[in-house]
Amino acid sequence: MADVKKVIEMIHKIAEDIEEQKLYLTELDNVIGDGDHGINMARGFKAVLEVEPTFEGKDIGAILKTTGMKLVSTVGGSAGPLYGTAFMKAGALMNGKTEADINDFIGIMDAAIGGVQLRGKAVAGEKTMLDAMMPARDAIKAAVEAGDDAKTALAKGLKAAEDGVEYTKTIIATKGRASYLGERSLGHQDPGATSFTLMMKDVAELA
């Protein structure tokens, strides 16, 4: 599915797309959060791009870990620790590996979700990034078990993430700043679920 070069390409594309969508993500966050999700994420991935030259000759685990550490140290709000932990947990899983197949990616998703749950003390259905991450992981897993190839499985994962973003519009936020709004959070999609889906889109397209 991906070698070191491909993983670097994916991270680069994610950084570009987060930068491109930062105002949209911030707009979403203006309604139900601190109004800084896109700006913070763009700052974090700009820092990742600055260390991208050091990725040369490193394994996938080291690249993911470095990405996570940069996000933790440069992204403000809750997104930094959550995404940073997700990438670092994925990095620990991929330590020493120079290639990743679809089963590795399922493992990466498991590790990332575990990291987010540990750091955010969140579960599915609370209007967070988990409402896109968990359906994506489950759809990819089910597709692989059904005999689909990696490309098809990732496409199904992306669709599940997109559906997850739509689902966040229908539920009341019970975690983070958005939870202060109570029922007023209804009808609005979660910025974290949206930024994760952007990442998932790039992985699905480039794999």
Q: To the nearest 10°, the Cα dihedral for 110, 116, 117, 118?
A: 110
CB-count exposure of residue 111 (10 Å: 0-12, 13-18, 19+)? buried
Q: Which CATH class is domain 2-206?
A: mainly alpha
Closest to 188 measured CA to CA, from 160, 159, 167, 161 = 167
| CA quadruple 78, 96, 55, 194: dihedral sign | negative
pLDDT at 188: 86
With a cut of 70, say whether residue 26 has pLDDT above it. yes
The torsion of the CA quartet 7, 106, 151, 14, rounded to 10 degrees, works out to -40
Strand-pairing partners, residue 2, are 100
pLDDT higher than threshold 70 for residue 180 = no
What are the structure tokens assigned to 87, written together? 């990438």
Percent of the chain at pLDDT > 90 equals 86
What's residue 84's pLDDT? 97
Q: How many CB atoms lie within 10 A of CB 97?
A: 17
Query: What type of residue sits at position 23?
Result: L
d(C-alpha 131, C-alpha 135), whole Å: 7
Dump pLDDT digits (tens) for 84-138.
Answer: 999 999 999 999 999 999 999 999 999 999 999 999 998 999 999 999 999 999 9
Mean pLDDT, range 51-79, rounded to an integer: 95
Q: How far apart are CA 143 and CA 160, in angstroms?
A: 11
Residue 52 has pLDDT above 80, yes or no: yes
CA distance 109 to 59: 18
Amino acid 51: pLDDT: 97
Q: What is the pTM of this model?
A: 0.95
**The two three-digit tokens of residue 127, written as one number:** 């209007």
